[in-house]
Structure 1
Amino acid sequence: MLLIDRLELGFGPGLNVLTGETGAGKSILLDCLGFVLGWRGRADLVRQGATQGEVTAVFDLPPNHPSRAVLADAGIEVEDDQLILRRINGGDGRKTGFVNDRRVSGEVLRRLSETLVELHGQHDDRGLLNPRGHRALLDAYGGVDLSAIRKAWSTRKEAGRLLEEALAAQAAAREEEEFLRHAVKELEDLAPEAGEEATLDSSRRNMQAAERIREDVQRALALLGAEGAESAMVEASRWLEGAADKAEGRLDAPISALSRALIELGEAYQGVEDALSGMDFDPYALEAVEERLFALRALARKHSVLADDLAGLAAQLRDRLDRLDAGDQRIAELRQSAAAADAEYDRLATELTERRRRAAADLDKAVSAELAPLKMERAVFTTGISPGEAGPEGRDIVAFTVATNPGAPAGALDKIASGGELSRFLLALKVCLAKGNDALVLIFDEIDRGVGGATADAVGRRLKRLAEDAQVLVVTHSPQVAAQGANHFRVSKSVHDGMTTSTVTPLERDDRIDEIARMLSGDRITQAASDAAISLLEG
C-alpha cells in the first residue's frame, strides 16, 4: 500500500502514540485503516509495481458491542468474539471487502466502522463537527431516555392517521350519500337471498314446461282410465273368463297375462295422475316468479355483481351508510384521541427540552473546566438548544457553538476556531462526552498541532485520561503527548534498491527516550534532551 510493503501492527489498550518525522508515513497508516473500514479517501493505495494492496484489521468485541447488530443485519456470525475486516485494492482500482471471510459491500464496512472507530482531527466532519449528531451526543451525555417520547410520537402519528382516514372516508361518503340511501332502500325492499336466483330459475322452467305438456298428459290419462284402456281390458277379461270353462285350459295363460297387465296399467295410471297433479300451478305464480327473477337480475346488472352477491352488497352498503350516520360521533372520538396524543407528546417534548437544557448547562460547565488547562480559559463553549420540527426524538435542534473570546460572536466550531484551537476544543469536548464509552476506538490525527509546552502537556494528560475508558490512537509531533502513551510506535522511512518504504517499530523505554529526545531537539540528540525525555516519561 503506497509506502508500505508488508506491515503488521498490534495496538494495546489505553493510549497508543505514533510518532515520526514529517513524511515518514503516519498519514498513510490512517489512510489504510480508513480503507479497510470503507471510508471514502484516496482513490488508489496500491504501491507502484504491486498487483494489489490488502489491509486487514482485527477487533476484539465485547458481548454487547453495537457492531453485533450490524453484523446480524448482514447475516454474519462472530466466532470467538473476534471481528476480522479485510479489503483488497486491485491494480485496476477495484475494491473488494470481506468481514470474517464473507464478502460484503463498502456500505456494510462503513456501517460497521461507525460502531468501531471514531476519527478526530482538524477536518473531522464525521463526528463532533457534524451538527446533525450533536443532539444524540447531548442525550448520551445527559443519560436521556427517549423511549417514552418515541412511543408518544408513534401514538400521535397513528391517531392522526386514523383521524385523517375517517375524515377522508366521511367526505367521500357524503358525496355518495344520496346514492347510498337509494341503493340500500332498493336492496332492502327486494330483500335478495343467496342462491335465490337458481331456485327461481328452476321453478320458472318447471312451470313453463308443465304448461306446455299438461294437455297431452291429460289425454293420456283419459285413455288409460275407466273410459279408455282400463274399461276395454276389464271387459275382455270378463269375456275370457266366461269362456274359460269350455276352453279346456287354453285360455288360462292369456287370462293370467291380462290380469298382470291390468295391475301394470293401474300403476301407470297412478304415476301419470301423480305427475299431472304435480303440474298443477297457479298461472299467477309463474308471473310472480318471473317478476322477482327479472328484478333480481336487473338489480345485479345495475350494480355489476352476480345476483347471488346482492345480499352481501346490501350488507356492505348498509354498513357504509351506518358509518356515515355514525361518522360524526366517530370523528369526534378520533379528534379527542388525537388531541390527547398531541397533549401527551407536547408534555413529554417539553420535559425533554428541560432535561436537555439541564444536560447542556452541565456539559458547558464541564467543557469550560477542560478548556482552562488547555490555555483557552477565555473561550466560551455553549450548547445551543432551539425549537425545531417535531419528531420521534423531540423538537429540539442542538448545536455546539464557541466564542474564542468573551464578547465575540459565537459560531460553529469549525467556523470560529483556528486549527490549534479547534483541536483543543474537540479534545475537551470528547473528554467530557466519552466517559464510560469503551465501544469505540478513538483516533486523533495531530490534534495537538500548533500547541506546545504546558498546553501540549495538558493535551497529553487529557488523552491519557480519555484512554482510561477507550482504546485511543494518537498521531503526534508533540513530545509531551508522546510521553503520556502506554504504547509508543515510531514510523520511519527508508530506501532500499531505489524503493522507499515505511516501517513501524514498537518502542521500549530506552528507544522511547531517544525518540522523545529527537522530538525535543531534532536529529542531534543531546544529553539535555535525553534528560528532558526521561523527565517527561516519569512525569
Structure 2
Amino acid sequence: MLRLLHVRDLVIVDEAEINFAPGFTVFSGETGAGKSILIDALSLVLGARGDTGLLRSGAERAEITAVFDTPDSLQAWLSERDFDPQDDLVLRRIIDAQGRSKAYVNGVPANLGMLRELGEHLVDIHGQHAHQGLLTAANQRRLLDQHAGLTESAQATAQAWQAWKQAMQALEAAQRNAATVEQERERLQWQIDELTALAPRPGEWEAVSNEQSRLAHGQALLEGATRTLALLEDESASALQILNTAIHQIQQVLRHDSQLQSVLDALESARISASEAVSDLNSYLDRLELDPEALARAEQRVGQLFDAARKFHVEPEALPELLEQLTQQLEATHAAADVDALQARVKAAEAAYHAAAGALGAGRRKAAQRLSKEVTAAMQELAMQGGAFQVVLSPCPAGPHGTETVEFHVAGHAGTPPRPLAKVASGGELARLSLALSVIASQAAQVPTLIFDEVDTGIGGAVAEVVGRLLRQLGERHQVLCVTHLPQVAARGSHHFEVRKSSAGGTTVSDIRPLEPRDRIEEVARMLGGMKITDTTRKHAKEMLLG
C-alpha cells in the first residue's frame, strides 16, 4: 500500500508530507483548494508526463516522493533491473524549470516507462471524468477483461493474432517473390561452392602467413642464429668465456669483501642465461632447414586466401566466418521459399489464434453474466430502481481483440429494453454507472491501492450514502483514497484529510492536514451547510460520522 507521499513546489503546494494508513481515506476541501493535486502528484511519480506548467510559481523544480510497501509481485521485477528489492519501495520524480525530468527507484535512476510498469502493480486511479471513457467500445472491452482477470488472456490473443498475420505475410511474400528468391539462392550457392573449395580454416591466415615469412627468410635466419651462437660460445672471445673469466676474478677477491657477492650472483645468472641461449640456438639450428618446396606451397596458399578475400571484400582472416554466414543465408532462403512449410506455419498459427481467442471468449461470456448481474443490483441502490445492465457480446471477424465485440447496454427504467450505453444514458446515470462499475471491478483488482478522484460528481442524498458505504466496504479489501465533495462519502472515511488554500505575500498556497474528531465534525458540517455552520449542521455532521 501507499505509506507516504512528499510533494514540493507542485502547482500551489509549497511542501506537503502525508502519511497514509490502510482502509478508506477521504480528502475534502473547498473548490480550488488543490485536492486533485495529490492525484496529479501520484500520477507523476508513477510515470505520467509532466511539464513546466506544473511547477509552483518561482520554483526551480518540483519534486515528488512516494513510499510504498513492496508487493511480492515486484520482487523479481526489481531484481532483474538491478533495483535493490527492499521492504520499502521508494519512487521519486523531479521536473525542473527547463522541462527536464528525472526519475529514481530506490535511489537508482530509472525511466518513465519503468515507473509506469511499477504503477500497474501499485495503484489504480479512477478519475473524475472516467465515466466519459465508458462510451468507447475499447474501454468497455478493457473494463470487462480487467474485471474478469482476462488481461493476460487478451494479450495472448493479440500476440497470437500478430503471429498468424506475420505467417500469412511470409507466405504471401514467398509466393510473390519466388523468382527473386531463386536468383538470390543461386548467387549464394556459387559463393559457397567457391569458398568451400578453398576451405579456409579459422586461424589459418595467421598461421600460413607466419610460415611463409619464416620460409622466405630461412637463409637469413640460419646465418643470424649461427653467428649469434659463435658469439656466445665458439669464438676465442665469446660471451661465455668472458663471463667465466669475470666470475673467476670476482671469486678471487670475494673473501676480502662480502659486498661483491651480489656482483658474483649477477654474473652467475648471466652465465646461466647465456648457456640456456646456446642450448636453445643449437636446438633451433637442428630443426631449421631450407625447404623451397614448402615455401612455394605456403606462398601459393597465401595468394589463394588473399585473392578470395579481395574478391569477397573481406579481410583474409574473415573468410571462414563469411562461409558460415553465407550458408546460414542460403538456409534462410530455402526456408523462405518453402511454400509447403510456410503454409503449415500459417495453419498452426491460425489454430493457435483460435485456441487463444476461444479461451478469451469463454472467459468473457462467463464474466459478462456476472458483471451484468452485479451492476444491475448496484443500480437499484443508486436511484435507478427497475433499471438493468447488460454486457452484450456479438460475434465479429477475427482480430487482435478476439472474435467478439463487447458493448454495454442499459435500461434506465423497468419495462424498457436495454440499449447501447452511449445512446440512452444521461449524464447523471452515466456517472452513477461508472461509479458502480469502478467499485465492482476494483473488488477483483490485484493492486493494493485504489484512488477515486471525485467520481461521485453528479450524485447526492441517499445515493451519496450508498456510495460512501460501497467505498468503505471496498476499503476493507484495499487501501482506498477518495477525493470527494460529498459529506455522506466523507463521513464514511476511516481517515480524513482537509485541503485548504491560503494567500501570503500575493502567493496562493495549498495546505493538507489530517483531521482530529472535533475538526472532522466541523469539516463535514461545512460540506453540509457551506460557509455558514450552525449547531444544527454540526449535530447532523456528528450523527453522520457516528452512523
TM over 0.5: yes
SS in 1 for 2:16: coil
Q: Is 2:529–2:537's contact at 8 Å kept on the other side of the alignment? A: yes
Question: Which residue does the alignment assign to 2:534?
Answer: 526
Question: Which residue does the alignment assign to 1:358?
Answer: 366
Give 1:516's match in structure 2, choosing from 516, 520, 524: 524
Question: Which residue does the alignment assign to 2:141?
Answer: 135
Q: Is 2:376–2:388's contact at 8 Å kept on the other side of the alignment? A: yes
Deviation of 1:98 (Å)? 2.7
- CA–CA distance in structure 2, aligned partners of residues 365 and 437 of structure 1: 18
Tell me whether 1:101 sits opposite 2:107 in the alignment.
Answer: yes
Q: Is 1:44–1:93's contact at 8 Å kept on the other side of the alignment? A: no
Question: Which residue does the alignment assign to 2:40?
Answer: 31
- CA–CA distance in structure 2, aligned partners of residues 124 and 333 of structure 1: 48
Give 1:13's match in structure 2, choosing from 22, 32, 37: 22
| Residue type of the alignment partner of 2:451 | I
Question: Which residue does the alignment assign to 2:291?
Answer: none
Q: Is 2:63–2:92's contact at 8 Å kept on the other side of the alignment? A: no
- CA–CA distance in structure 2, aligned partners of residues 33 and 176 of structure 1: 57
- CA–CA distance in structure 2, aligned partners of residues 31 and 497 of structure 1: 26
Deviation of 1:60 (Å)? 1.5
Deviation of 1:373 (Å)? 0.5
The runs of 5 or more residues in structure 2 that have no matched partner are 1-8, 191-195, 200-307, 313-318
Deviation of 1:397 (Å)? 3.5
How much identity, in percent, do the aligned residues show? 42
SS in 2 for 1:433: helix
Give deviations 1:431-450, integer Å, cap 9, x for gaps: 22122424153222221122
- After the TM superposition, which of the residue ranges 357-366 and 400-409 deviates more from structure 2? 400-409
Tell me whether 1:448 sits opposite 2:462 in the alignment.
Answer: no
Q: Is 1:493–1:501's contact at 8 Å kept on the other side of the alignment? A: yes
Deviation of 1:365 (Å)? 1.5
Q: Cα gap change, 1:122/1:395 in structure 2, threshold over 3 Å: closer, same or farther?
A: same
Question: Which residue does the alignment assign to 1:238?
Answer: none
- CA–CA distance in structure 2, aligned partners of residues 88 and 30 of structure 1: 16
Report how many residues are paired.
410
Deviation of 1:471 (Å)? 1.7
Give deviations 1:306-337, integer Å, cap 9, x for gaps: xxx9xxx9xx99xx9xx99xx99x75576456
Q: Is 2:131–2:431's contact at 8 Å kept on the other side of the alignment? A: no
Alignment of 1:260-409 (within 5 A): 331=339, 335=343, 338-339=346-347, 341-343=349-351, 345-346=353-354, 348-387=356-395, 390=398, 394-400=402-408, 402=410, 404=412, 406-407=416-417, 409=419
Question: Which residue does the alignment assign to 2:222?
Answer: none
Q: Is 1:420–1:448's contact at 8 Å kept on the other side of the alignment? A: no
Give 2:420's match in structure 1, choosing from 405, 410, 419: 410
Give 2:492's match in structure 1, choosing from 471, 484, 491: 484
Deviation of 1:108 (Å)? 3.6
Q: Cα gap change, 1:48/1:158 in structure 2, threshold over 3 Å: closer, same or farther?
A: closer
Deviation of 1:459 (Å)? 0.9
Question: Which residue does the alignment assign to 1:77?
Answer: 84
- CA–CA distance in structure 1, aligned partners of residues 342 and 24 of structure 2: 58
Q: Is 1:54–1:87's contact at 8 Å kept on the other side of the alignment? A: yes
Q: Is 2:67–2:88's contact at 8 Å kept on the other side of the alignment? A: no
- CA–CA distance in structure 2, aligned partners of residues 512 and 176 of structure 1: 80
Give 1:120's match in structure 2, choosing from 118, 126, 142: 126
Q: Cα gap change, 1:373/1:43 in structure 2, threshold over 3 Å: closer, same or farther?
A: farther
Q: Cα gap change, 1:94/1:142 in structure 2, threshold over 3 Å: closer, same or farther?
A: closer
- After the TM superposition, which of the residue ranges 493-502 and 446-455 deviates more from structure 2? 493-502
Give deviations 1:472-504, integer Å, cap 9, x for gaps: 211111111001111100112233454432211
The runs of 5 or more residues in structure 1 that have no matched partner are 185-191, 196-300
Question: Which residue does the alignment assign to 1:285?
Answer: none
| Residue type of the alignment partner of 1:520 | L
- CA–CA distance in structure 2, aligned partners of residues 113 and 125 of structure 1: 22
Q: Is 1:120–1:127's contact at 8 Å kept on the other side of the alignment? A: no
Q: Cα gap change, 1:169/1:31 in structure 2, threshold over 3 Å: closer, same or farther?
A: closer
- CA–CA distance in structure 1, aligned partners of residues 160 and 39 of structure 2: 43
Q: Cα gap change, 1:130/1:476 in structure 2, threshold over 3 Å: closer, same or farther?
A: same
Give deviations 1:270-306, integer Å, cap 9, x for gaps: xxxxxxxxxxxxxxxxxxxxxxxxxxxxxxx9xx99x
Q: Is 1:367–1:381's contact at 8 Å kept on the other side of the alignment? A: yes
RMSD of equivalent CA atoms: 4.5
Q: Is 2:410–2:418's contact at 8 Å kept on the other side of the alignment? A: no
Give 2:71's match in structure 1, choosing from 62, 69, 88: 62
Relative to the length of structure 2, the TM-score reads 0.62
Deviation of 1:451 (Å)? 1.5
- CA–CA distance in structure 1, aligned partners of residues 197 and 99 of structure 2: 74
Q: Is 1:122–1:423's contact at 8 Å kept on the other side of the alignment? A: no
Q: Is 1:122–1:422's contact at 8 Å kept on the other side of the alignment? A: no
- CA–CA distance in structure 1, aligned partners of residues 384 and 441 of structure 2: 19
Q: Cα gap change, 1:148/1:121 in structure 2, threshold over 3 Å: closer, same or farther?
A: closer
SS in 1 for 2:54: coil
Tell me whether 1:466 sits opposite 2:474 in the alignment.
Answer: yes
Deviation of 1:161 (Å)? 6.8
- CA–CA distance in structure 2, aligned partners of residues 334 and 495 of structure 1: 72
Q: Is 2:126–2:438's contact at 8 Å kept on the other side of the alignment? A: no
Q: Cα gap change, 1:340/1:490 in structure 2, threshold over 3 Å: closer, same or farther?
A: closer
Q: Cα gap change, 1:470/1:533 in structure 2, threshold over 3 Å: closer, same or farther?
A: same
Give deviations 1:180-234, integer Å, cap 9, x for gaps: 9xx99xxxxxxx9879xxxxxxxxxxxxxxxxxxxxxxxxxxxxxxxxxxxxxxx
Deviation of 1:458 (Å)? 0.7
- CA–CA distance in structure 1, aligned partners of residues 347 and 506 of structure 2: 77
Deviation of 1:73 (Å)? 6.7
Deviation of 1:384 (Å)? 3.7
